[in-house]
Each structure stands twice: as structure tokens, then as C-alpha cells.
A and B are shown apart, each in its own frame.
Chain A
Amino acid sequence: MDLNDTPEQSAFRREVRAFLAAQLPPALSHKVQHRLRLGKEDTVLWQRILHQRGWGAPGWPKAFGGTGWSAIEQHIFEEEAADAGAPRQLDFGLRMVAPVIMAFGNKAQQERFLPRILSGEDWWCQGYSEPGAGSDLASLRTRAERKGQHYVVNGQKAWTTLGQHADWIFCLVRTSTEGRPQEGISFLLIDMKSKGITVRPTIMLDGEHEVNETYFDDVEVPVENLVGEENRGWTYAKFLLGHERTGLANVGQWKRLLKRLETVARRETASNGRPLIEDARFRDKVAQVKVELLALEVTLLRVLSAEAKDAKKGLGPVASVLKIKGTEIGQAIFELTMQASGHDALAYLPEALEPGYSGPRVGGEHAAAAAGDYFNMRKLSIFGGSNEIQRNIISQMLLGL
């Protein structure tokens, strides 16, 4: 047993660091470090830079233009990129639809879609949930009827994250009402520019536009955009959810944000006039999160190492452990950052989240995003399968209850 990098891993880490130092634009990492608002152009810019280096898809095999990195190497890359303040790559294309297309799509689909994900040309969003189908995803009702060489799609998807920027949406649609609900679902790739698609913003509780409702009104989708077989979409969707949940462990990002919290606690003054970090009551809470995060990191590495030994098995229900812990730790970090900001966090100054803002502030720079982040990040325990659903999975699949 050895928890340190092997010599190869340390060399890899140095290579990643050198690349980040040379290639990550300072203006971009400034935005990330200071939690300023990120736009589509920021994500796309970073994807292009990575792509130029051949690192556009850390999780893909070489055959599809990926890096071919092992799970541990991917983790090292993510950790270093997060630490340097690189924006997160967009999961929807890279980590969600791409693995499905690789595993279940045909050659034409692979050639058509994967390169454009890699280069950042196509922005993807996820069309699973519906107003009536959240935790109970299999009850989804958006219909796709085959008419000649097209499917005609009607219905409504909810919560499409960043759908306002999207070129494509991968959707679960109902192609049959026979048998169990899971049995009549298909996986369709839909061009967001198609006639009959309307995207309407759903404003989040922090006032930001991040999710949308996406309506389909007689949208014609060529049959070649069906992934795999008709009525087998549920299998593909479940495969994808495993990928989504490991992403939610988010260890690299949490490590950076925990460091930031420590900096904030050093800068802030407690009510007795001393630095807040000297307040043991507060410091213990930060220390607790630090201990939990270390444990999660090692748990993640254990899971990834086991997966590397038996790649075919996939992650399975243990992904739920990572999702629950990762999201709880993230929420704790944001809550403590707000608490550290004291009542300075109470001012709602959304303009202060734009780069170059020089208007009035209440408290330190970190205070501007503190409450909004706390509010917004309540989503972590709700999406990607709520933490209640994850606990159901653990008790059924891992405990046999």
C-alpha cells in the first residue's frame, strides 16, 4: 500500500503543471478563482486550448481522439487543472453523451459527433428530466413517433442546464407504451436548431439563468439520430448516470475551494477583532470538512483503482457513495464561506460578479458570491439523482435491503 504518486505519476503531474502554467489564460483563471460569472466563451476557449494540446478529452480512449489516460491520470489532471483555476470542462458532451455514443452509437454517429465535442464546436445539453419525471425518470412522457425517415417529437423537458447555449440535446423519449415504463424509452440526438424547439429560462433562487424548459412541438428528427436500438434507451441512460455521478465527487474543485475558504477565514475579522481563523469554533468546522475531503479523495482513488483493474465492470452503485459525500462536502464549503463573510454576504450585488466590476462592495471581494453560491449549491444534493435516491440505491444495491 502506498498513497504517493509513482515516479511515472509524478512526472505526469509535472507535465500537467507546466502545461497549465503556460497555457491557462490568467484572465480565465482569475474569473474561476474569484467566482465571477463564466460565459459560454470561457468554457469553449478552454476546450480549444486543451484540444490543441491533444488533451481535449481526458476520459476518452485514444481511438476516439482522447488522451487514453488511466483513471488515476485523469484524476491527477483534474486535480491540477482545478487547483490552477481552470474552468470545468462541459460534462454534457465529454462525459455524458460521448461515452454513450462510443459504446452504443454507430460508426457514422461516432465520426459525426465526437470530433466536434472534442474541438468545442458543439455544445451539448441533457434532456432527461421532465416536469412530471424527476426522481422517477422512467415515467417520462415526451413522445417520439416514427414517421418514415423521421421521428416526430412532442413534449417538454425540464431543467436543461445551459440549454440556452446548446447546439445539440441528447434526449430520452418514449417510443413505446408497452411493457414496463423502462422498456419503451429511446435515446435520441436532437439538433437544437430544429423547427419546433422552444427554450425558456427557469430562473434559479440566486437570480441566475442556468437551467431551462425545453419544449418540443412536432420536431422532426432524422432516424439516423437514434442511438443504439429503439426502446433500449434506458440501458444507455443508466450507463451514463454512473459517469455523471463520479463527476459529482468533484474532489479537485472542492480542494481549491477549501483552500479559498481558509484564505477567507484568514482575511476576515471575527467579532473580537482577531482573524476569524483564530476562532476555534469556526476553525473546527473547516478542519472537519478538510478531514472529510481527504477521506473522500482516498475513497475515490480506491474506487478508480479498482475500476482500472476491471474496466468492463464500470462503477456501479458505489458511485452513489461518491455523489453523496462529494455534494455534502461541496455544500459545506459554500456554507462556511458564507458564514465567514458574516452579514456582508447579505447584500445582493449581482453586478459584482462581472469581471472588471469597480462599483460599491459590502465587505471583501469574496462576499459578493457567498450567499448566491450557498443558495445555488443546494442543487448539488438534488440533481444527478437526489441524495435520497442515492441512499435508496445504496441500501438496495449494496446492502440488499
Chain B
Amino acid sequence: MDFSYTEEQQALQDSLRRFLAKEYDFEKRRQISRSAAGYSKEHWRTLAEMGVLGLGIPEAHGGMNGSPVDTMLVMESFGRALVLEPYLPTVVLCGGLVRDAGTEAQQAALLPAIAMGELLMAFAHYEQGSRYALEHVATTAKREGNGYVLNGAKSLVLSGLQAGKLLVSARTAGGARDRAGVSLFLVDREAPGVSAQGYVTQDGGRAAEVKLADVRVGADALLGLEGGALPVIERAVDLAIAALCAEAVGAMDALLETTREYLKTRKQFGTPIGRFQVLQHRMADMLIAIEQARSMAMVAAVKVQSEDAAERRRMVSSAKALVGQSARYVGQQAVQLHGGMGVTDELAAAHLFKRLTVINATFGDADHHLAQVSDSLLVA
């Protein structure tokens, strides 16, 4: 058992925290959120230079060959600063899918571009009505000549409007909820037949509804095995969930800290409100919830690497369930302890609360993942 970080990991975390402390205070973040793109191209370039964008990418393709534990450190720092840059869709999800399922040629074409910050990608998977079921894919891909024709609609595609390329899941066989028959395709965002309706998300990020109408792609657009993409998708989503757990821990740390400051400075009845025991105990419970969540973020980061898919999924779901519950409690109580100020747009607290709410509902909420753990008890 070893919970320590390597020197490289420490150094990465330090430099990232320094960068964010300098460039990503709350007001700057607000400006980025309100900009048309919804992220800062300059910051994206800086992250590339720091090696953060190539963290999970093999060295042969210009990356650092890092592990999910490295990703955890990055996401935790991002969570503290409420970073809006599309790291999760481009690097964790799409970078992970191309790394794990792509051909050598696909890897060579995409991974260095991701690592260098030249390419944004989006994972177009969920559809309206799927809720959190990953196997629900009604979008179709029909073989035609040498390639495929894609038709369907994708929902809540993170940075779906900004991305240069999309990874689209589509059915090459089977019914809308069959595990077999799902395939992944690499599609240009600007390809004829692709349209994206972008919008802001509740946390100030960006997503899109993406429509595919007779979109033609070549045989080389297929990523991984035809009809065999679901296990690959599940693993990629588990990696994303592990990353989100770490981000949530960072956001909760920041929220506890800013609430603690508030309790020490806000005075009512002639005394700092932090003197009221009922608020002290609330803070103690928040701290406990965060420590539990921190442990589970570590579980997720380590166990997401497990070769045993059932164990991997059970552990990642355990983490997402507990982190989601903690995020809800810490978020709600932090707002409550800020009084009226907590429900305004003015303080970071409300924005951290909103981001935590969004994280809970991304790739399955606490109840959804608790159900996975609970169902696993039936399999003796």
C-alpha cells in the first residue's frame, strides 16, 4: 500500500496550481465562461506546453504516458479553480478512446494533435431518452460501398460545437439497447450532414445537440471493431468518471475553504458566525464527507486500471455514488452557510455548488451508481 505521489507528480501538481492561482481567479473564469468559445485558447496552449494535454498519451505519439492517477491530480486542481477548458471530452474521453481502440494510423493522426493543443474532440454518444444507459444507441451506421452512412441525433455532447472532430457511436447491428452492434466512428465536425446546436450548460460550460443526416465516412473512420465498441466505451466513460470524482474533490476542497473563510469573517449578533456550534458541526460533517470522497476518488483512479471489467465498473460506481452524495451535501450546506450571499451569482461558492451538481448528473448520478453497486450484490 502506498498513497504517496512521485516527484514528477508533485512537480506537475505544483506547477499546475501555480498557473491556476495566477491565471484563473474567479473573475477571469467568469470572463472565459461568458466568451463566445467558452474556454481560453491561450490557456489551452499553456496546458499543452506544460504537458498536461498529453498526459495520458503514449510517448511515441508525443505524450507523457501517464496514468489515471496523474489525471486525478490534474482534475483535482481543475476542480478547485472551476476550470472550463474541455479537458474531459478532448483528452480523457476522446484521447482515451483513440489510445485504447484506434489503429496506429488513427493514433498518429490524432494523438499528437491533442497533446499539442491543436485539436479539440468531442464524444457524441448519449441520445435523448437514453438517460445514463451507455448501451442505448439508436443512431445508425449503414455500410455503403467502401464506407458507412450515419443517421441519428446525439444529446449533451460536451464541447460538441467547438470540437474539430467527433467520435460518434452508431449501430451497425442490433436493436437500440443491445450490447452488441455498437461501433465508433471518427467524423469531422464540419462534414456534410453534421449540424450542431450549441448551448451553455448549468455550470457555464458548453455542450451541443448534434444531428447526423446521411453523413458519409470512409472505412478508415471506424475506430476499433465493428459492432464491438461498447466495452471500449464503458472503459472510457469509467476513466471519465474517475476524472470527475477527482474534480469534485478539488471543487469540494475549494468550497469548504471559502465557506470556512466566510464563517470566520461574516459577523452577526456581534460575533463571527463560525462561533455558532450548529454551523461548526455542519462544517465538520462537510469535512468528513470530503475525506470520504477523497478516498473514493483514489479508489476510482487506481481501480479504473483493473483488467477485470466487472471489478472496475463496481469500484468506479462505488466512487461515483459516494462522491455524488458528498458533492450534494457539501454543495447544499456551503450555500446555506453563506446565507443570502450563497444564492447569488456573485460568489465562487454558488458556482462551485453548480459545478458539483452538474458533476453528479454527468455519466450517472449517485442513485444510478448506487444501483450498480447494489445490483452487483445479487451476483454472488
- A interface residues (Cβ-Cβ under 8 A, vs B): 129, 132, 134-136, 139, 158-159, 202-205, 207, 211, 268-273, 281-282, 338-339, 342-349, 360, 362-363, 371-372, 374-376, 378-379, 381-383, 386-388, 391
Contact = CB atoms under 8 A, between A and B. Distances in A.
B240 interface: no
A358 B197 CA distance: 14
B363 to A, nearest CB: 8
In this complex, which of B200, B201, B270 has the most chain A Cβ atoms within 10 angstroms of its Cβ? B201
A288 to B, nearest CB: 14
A376 B268 CA distance: 24
A339 B367 contact: yes
Given A134-B339, A135-B339, A271-B132, A348 B201 contact: yes
Contacts of B307: none
A343 B132 contact: yes
Main SS of chain A's interface residues? mixed
Given A205-B354, A343-B156, A347-B207, A159 B340 contact: yes
Given A271-B132, A282-B367, A391-B278, A386 B200 contact: no
29 contacts: A135-B269, A139-B270, A158-B340, A202-B346, A205-B343, A205-B354, A269-B129, A269-B131, A342-B132, A342-B365, A343-B131, A346-B203, A346-B362, A348-B201, A348-B202, A360-B199, A360-B209, A362-B128, A362-B156, A375-B343, A375-B357, A378-B332, A378-B342, A378-B343, A382-B340, A382-B343, A387-B336, A388-B276, A388-B279
Given A129-B340, A346-B203, A347-B201, 11 more contacts: A134-B340, A159-B340, A281-B370, A281-B371, A339-B365, A343-B361, A347-B156, A375-B353, A382-B339, A382-B343, A388-B278
B196 to A, nearest CB: 11
A343 B156 CA distance: 8
B172 interface: no
B354 A271 contact: no
A348 B340 contact: no
B133 A273 contact: yes
Interface in B199-233: 199-203, 207, 209
B268 A135 contact: yes
A383 B199 CA distance: 32
A381 B336 contact: yes
B65 interface: no
Contacts of B31: none
A203 B335 CA distance: 15
Q: Give 9 nearest A-B pairs by CB, closest first.
A: A205-B350, A136-B268, A271-B133, A203-B345, A271-B131, A136-B269, A371-B202, A348-B200, A271-B132
A211 B202 CA distance: 20
Nearest to B350: A205
B179 interface: no
In this complex, which of B267, B270, B336 has the most chain A Cβ atoms within 10 angstroms of its Cβ? B336
B17 interface: no
Interface in B258-274: 267-270, 273
A346 B207 contact: yes
A374 B342 CA distance: 14
A346 B354 contact: no
Contacts of A135: 268-269, 273, 339
A204 B361 contact: no
B343 A376 contact: yes
B274 to A, nearest CB: 13
A341 to B, nearest CB: 9
B344 A202 contact: yes
A270 B128 CA distance: 12
A382 B332 CA distance: 11
B28 to A, nearest CB: 19
A125 B200 CA distance: 33
A266 B258 CA distance: 40
B346 to A, nearest CB: 7
Given A342-B361, A346-B202, A386 B207 contact: no
B367 A342 contact: no
Given A345-B202, A349-B199, A388-B278, A375 B354 contact: yes
B358 interface: yes
B364 to A, nearest CB: 8
Nearest to B203: A346
Contacts of B132: 271, 342-343
A61 B365 CA distance: 50
A132 B361 CA distance: 36
Interface in B322-350: 332, 335-336, 339-340, 342-346, 350
B378 to A, nearest CB: 14
Nearest to B134: A271
